[in-house]
Amino acid sequence: MRHDASHFPLNMTTHALSPAMPTNGGADPALIALADGIGVLWQDAHLALVLKPSGMLSVPGRGPDKQDCLSARLAHAGLPSMVVHRLDQATSGLMLFAHSAQMQRQLSHAFAQRQVHKQYLALVAGHLPASDDWQMIDAPIAADWPRRPLRIVTEGGQSSQTLWRSLGPCMDRAPDDASAGTWLALRPLSGRTHQLRVHLQHIGHPIWGDTMYAPLEVLAHAPRLMLHAQRLALTHPATGQALAFEHTPAGWLTPDMLRGAQDMPW
């Protein structure tokens, strides 16, 4: 399968630890197929920050055709590869991997206790005016058993909350265009499968390029799912130092939108 590199540039905020790798976008190209859009953006003795391309699995799936994944490539290269959290195959963006079982447990606990701050970018159908206020989607999610692996908002599902904030319109389309889109910043407060995609479909603004939840006319707006894990912030479990990382695909946001998305306090 071809993975969408999207010409990802390195765009990382400063933090207290010195990078163990050069700031030219990751590891030795001989170790990782950077042509597939993978980049080890930062690492120390305990963990690594990795850029996952759209179209690549985070972990192995079922069947021999689903064994090529980000964790396997990192392991093959001798890099931190112990899984802490996952991104959908179609989603791109920042992921953390642990170097040891102890660090994996500590990071997993931090995620479970909501001590890791996460922010995503999405381009959704429809027009939502830019705002400085966060809105909440509070809608329970469950498996859509007749249509597995799809998920659905339904009474009796697992409690699920997502914060969203409009950054402004997609500049490729006029606001009154029937195919207009809006850039959103998203902060999941829970971690359900397909949560962001299901919640945005639920409020009538599915994500462009979503093969699972968007109608055909919205799916056709983009060659990939326009969802990217843009920001991660956490306290380093081993050192206690504050880490804050950010990556935005080139060409996704205007300079003003990008500054707004980067500067939002947690």
CA distance 175 to 35: 35
Clarify whether 88 is annotated catalytic. yes
Structure tokens at 240: 């206690």
CA distance 90 to 55: 5
- List 88, 132, 133, 144, catalytic entry: 88
CA distance 15 to 246: 11
Which residue, among 201, 96, 105, 117, has the nearest Cα to 153 in the 3D structure?
201
In the three-class reduction of DSSP (H, G, I as helix; E, B as strand; rest coil), residue 131 is classed as coil
Distance of CA 237 to the CA centre of its chain: 22
Q: Which residues are catalytic?
A: 88
